[in-house]
Amino acid sequence: MTYRHRLGAALVALLLVPAFLVGQPARAEPLPEFRNPDLPLKTRVNDLTSRLTLDEKISLLHQYQPAIPRLGIASFKTGTEALHGVAWLGKATVFPQAVGLGSTWDPSLIKRVGSAVGDEARAYNKIDPAKNGLNLWAPVVNQLRDPRWGRNEEGYAEDPLLTSEIATAYGRGLEGDDPRYLKTAPTLKHFASYNVETDRARVSASVRPRVLHEYEYKAFQPALTAGAATGVMASYNLLNGRPTHVSPELGETVRSWSKDDLMIVGDAGGAGNVSGLQGYYPTAAEGAAAAIKAGLDSFTENDANGGPTVAAVKEALAKGLLTEADIDKPVEHLLSVRFRLGEFDPAGRNPYEKIGADSIDTPAHRELAREAARKQVVLLENKHQALPLDAAKTKDVAVIGQLADTVYEDWYSGTMPYRVTPSGGITERLGAGSTVTTTEGVDRIALRSVATGKYVTAPAGATGGALTADATAAGAAQSLDVFDWGGGRLALRSAANGKYVSRSGNGLANDQDKPNGWFVQQQFGLEKLANGNYVLRYRGNEVKEPWNGPNQYIVLDADGKLTIGAATQDTAAQFTREVLVSGTAAAVAAAKKADTAVVVVGSTPFINGREDNDRQDTALAAGQQAIVKAVTAANPKTVVVLESSYPLTGDWTQAKAVLWTSHAGQETGHALADVLFGDYSPSGRLPQTWYRTDKELPDPLDFDVIKAGWTYQYHRASPLYPFGHGLTYGTFRYSGLRVSSPVLPANGRLKVSVDVTNTSRTASDEVVQLYTSQRTSRVAQPVKTLRGFQRLAFAPGQRRTVSFEVKASDLAFWDVTRNKWVVESALQDVQVGSSSADIRARTTVAVRGEVIPPRNLSKPTAATDFDDYSGIELIDATKVRGDAVGKTTAGDWISFQHVQLGHGATQLQAAVSRSAAGTGTVEVRLGSPTGPLAGTLAIPATPDHYTWTTTTTSLNTHLTHGIQDVYLVFTAPDTNIRNLTIT
């Protein structure tokens, strides 16, 4: 209908209006409650939900929520990556990796970083709201339990307090400070106990209650309780045998931590794995129903195609697995966050709607990136005050190493608007009149076919082309620079065009700027044979590439083209390796003529572990280690910069000074130059322990930080560098440690104060750290635990009083005997220092808590509430909820310590199952796993481990009296116990 036709119809209608109505004001259509910004949030959410059809509600459960035009609702996408800057949307400020943000130990800085990232996310949302969503998938709060974890770079620390403080600050920055509106909606990743990439969707993290409460949950809860995050993402793994996407902890435990309606999302494909890779439920409908009932709100499945998710949910409804009320809950959770983002409010109400494209890559964000990059640098060693360098006296610098003239992205990096390399930063700092020589210290080689005598050749030109063995002499086109990344993994860069060699179909081509991609296809190995020749191995298959089958070695086809065509060395093409330029010789030559050598070595985030790919070791690559050794021998004034996403092991003791930095983003070079030449005193601190050797590390699949001895809290050997370690150019004296009272009651608070003085002439930050250590306990306690920290700026000679508050409840641990937090009566050592090992002052406080009474097993007690164990794993008691002890082998045991057996316990009753054939037994022993036998429990075979049966055994009353330690010793495999009672 045209405007003229509409006007005519309106006039006719007006003529038909009864006379008594003429002249009365027209009634405006009432504003829907959900559009009224002055109504309570819950009222608005309920109103909008009530207006949606069932089909519309179901459609909102997918990551890509479609528009609903009849209600004026726009589309909405969850999941913009923002780990250390906005990623994958275009040019954006790239801050240091998350592990680097953690090493700042500076929540106030991290909040400002989060705010900048939030601004840029808002800006991209304004550019394209449908594509660039405001639900950000950051921060990652999984703790850095194992430095071999491929995603170590994504976490903040190995400690729950440091992790939660940094995460809360980042989340607050992302959300903004408005009391009503969210700038963005951050999501904590990944709940829970996620630390393994290898076969991650099938790994079950066996985590006992103490570890869950004292370690895992403590990283997630604070940000949610503080309102600094709007939800969590479920992790890929299983937790105690149950996929996290169907864990009741999502809807119960996680939601209990926040006063707000949280939005709980699935990881990409994670909910589908429940009925797919994990096979936990037989159909997608059953898996979707279980996830929704467990608390999942949003399915991240099939990219933008919501069809399969909608179909699965509809089938679940049709089969009675779900009701419309079950659908309403996640819809309300999702809409609640959208309301808080201001989506349904009139223009002009939301202060963040003004943020536009001019907020991306601003001068202020560039300066903030530089500040963050330099604040995260850690000075590991500084012998005889080798640093800072005197710029006025340093006229010739050699910058050496594989990372000397590059800045690497990681998987979750944004697109850097520019990048300052270490060499570039040093050159800029020294300016005219100085000489900066850069060499990567890598061998330039040629590969010559043994069979044909021809050299491997790469085409010139920006696009490169197929590698062939067809040249009779070695020139630029036949030259390959060899980058050693450790573990036999190499990257090859063609001198013909400066591009990296990569898999291309079943052949090789020099067409990539850097190692990159989900499947990193720029990984190779040169393996030496007994006859002295070499074979070239393609190692991209280590990240589960499907297309080459068993083939991973290079052969030559009839035209001399290099192809991936052999499964073993025996049938691979053989080459001689001719060194055209020695990287070591070039490095030594540059170092010898320089006033100072700066060696920059470390890792590349795409080869040395990342998402879906754990590291096998933490060793600095042998080739890079050799460069460090050669250069430090050639020039005593050598500074080593370790640039990595994780702690390294190696020997750099010859160097006068050693720095560590994460892959610190676009301002890496400026930050390093600031630190090297004393424009900024490094004050970062290590957020995780650097172990001396990988041999000290427990099994990656052992998630029990307490028993396995993970992290500074439980690792008792002397590390290479301790948690919290970091030197500065200043020197600090700690004195006058005092506490508000020598006694701390169970509900009390303790003020701890110490005077810290900068005794040097250098302005510097100092990170003052507070630890406690409980001297006696019923249970294994940490060696020490971080209770507070403050990063403070000190002028030369300045003295400051630094104070902390410790609540008695901070000292609590999870009491498995009564399933609650408990503060024990004990002496607590209060320690203040510059690292977990560098304690400068200490005192003792008597805590007046409680003495845990003897265990009472006369009521059903969860088997998982054991005090100690050997060998067993925790499994799911049912598919819906509850854990049990299982996956046993003969000789495994669990123990219950300090049990009150009275005047002679007569029987033990237990809920048991056994999926293996035949009857198994569990021995009841006292005092130890080999102590006196008090009874034997028969475990009959059951259809599966979910079929629980109750069985009883009589106990020897001559033995079962008084207070004793009770051991249940498994004598057969696959025997499971859910709960037990001793009467």
**Strand locations in 61-219 (E):** 64-65, 76-81, 135-137, 185-191, 204-205
Phi, psi of 739 (to 5 degrees): -125, 155
Burial 954-972 (b: 16+ CB within 10 A, else e): ebeeebbeeebbbbbbbbb
pLDDT of residue 935: 98
Q: Over the chain (983 residues), what is each successive 10-residue block's mean pLDDT?
A: 36 37 56 96 99 99 98 98 98 99 99 99 97 98 98 99 99 98 99 97 98 98 99 99 99 98 98 98 99 99 98 99 99 99 97 97 99 99 97 96 98 98 98 96 98 97 96 97 97 98 96 94 97 96 71 95 96 98 98 98 96 96 98 98 98 96 99 99 99 97 98 97 99 98 97 99 98 98 99 99 98 98 98 99 98 97 98 98 97 98 96 94 98 97 96 95 98 96 97
Position 450, amino acid: V
State the Cα–Cα distance between residues 89 and 125, nearest whole angstrom. Answer: 10
State the Cα–Cα distance between residues 679 and 673, nearest whole angstrom. Answer: 8
pLDDT of residue 859: 95
Q: Which CATH superfamily is domain 53-357 in?
A: Glycoside hydrolase, family 3, N-terminal domain (3.20.20.300)
- 825-845: per-residue pLDDT in tens? 999 999 999 999 999 999 999
**Half-sphere exposure (Cβ direction) of 276: Cα atoms closer than 13 Å:** 10
pLDDT of residue 475: 96
CATH no. of 730-848: 2.60.40.10
Cβ neighbors of 446 (< 8 A, separation 6 or more) are 455, 456, 474, 478, 479, 480, 577, 578, 580
Architecture of domain 451-572: Trefoil (2.80)
Q: Do domains 53-357 and 730-848 have the same CATH topology?
A: no
| CA dist list (Å): 858 to 67, 642, 865, 909, 979 | 58, 57, 14, 10, 11
pLDDT of residue 23: 44
Closest CA to 740 of 748, 751, 729: 751
CATH number among 3.40.50.1700, 1.10.490.10, 3.40.720.10, 1.10.3720.10, domain 377-440+582-682: 3.40.50.1700
Tokens 């096979």 identify what position? 279
Q: Where are the domains of the chain?
A: 3-31, 53-357, 377-440+582-682, 451-572, 730-848, 861-982
pLDDT of residue 296: 99
State the Cα–Cα distance between residues 7 and 531, nearest whole angstrom. Answer: 94
pLDDT of residue 292: 99
Burial 284-318 (b: 16+ CB within 10 A, else e): bbbbbbbbbbbbbbbbbbbeeebeebbebbbbbbe
H helical segments located in 558-689: 583-593, 622-634, 668-676
pLDDT of residue 90: 97
Closest CA to 66 of 58, 76, 57, 79: 76
- 603-662: per-residue pLDDT in tens? 999 999 999 999 999 999 999 999 999 999 999 999 999 999 999 999 999 999 999 999
Contact 613/152 with Cβ under 8 angstroms? no
Instruction: Give me the CATH topology for the region 861-982.
Output: Jelly Rolls (2.60.120)
Phi/psi region, residue 160 (left: phi>0; alpha: psi -120 to 50; beta: rest), is alpha
The C-alpha angle with vertex 781 and arms to 780 and 785, in degrees rounded to 5, equals 160
pTM value > 0.85: yes
pLDDT of residue 547: 74
